[in-house]
Amino acid sequence: GTVDTELSSHLRDGVRQAVERQIENMELLHPEDIADAVSYIVTRDRRVAVNEILVRAGEQTW
């Protein structure tokens, strides 16, 4: 999902600008949202296997 981190600042100019246009009106996820998901996964009982998880911003459609 689209998380509010510094990652996009490491993209080359054209790519960074395209990403910024795509997410300009979107409320991004916070890093804590991803941390919560990871915490959920690693604290399950051994009988539980979380094989996949998709976390994305509520407004993200892609």
pLDDT tens digits, 14-31: 999 999 999 999 999 999
- Contacts by 54-62, CB closer than 8 A, 24 or more apart: 54/1, 55/1, 55/29, 56/1, 56/2, 56/29, 57/1, 57/2, 57/26, 57/27, 57/28, 57/29, 58/27, 59/25, 59/26, 59/27, 60/1, 60/2, 60/26
Tell me how far apart the alpha carbons of residues 55 and 58 are, in angstroms, rounded to a whole number. Answer: 9
- The pLDDT, as a whole number, for residue 1 is 67
- Mean pLDDT score, 35-57: 96
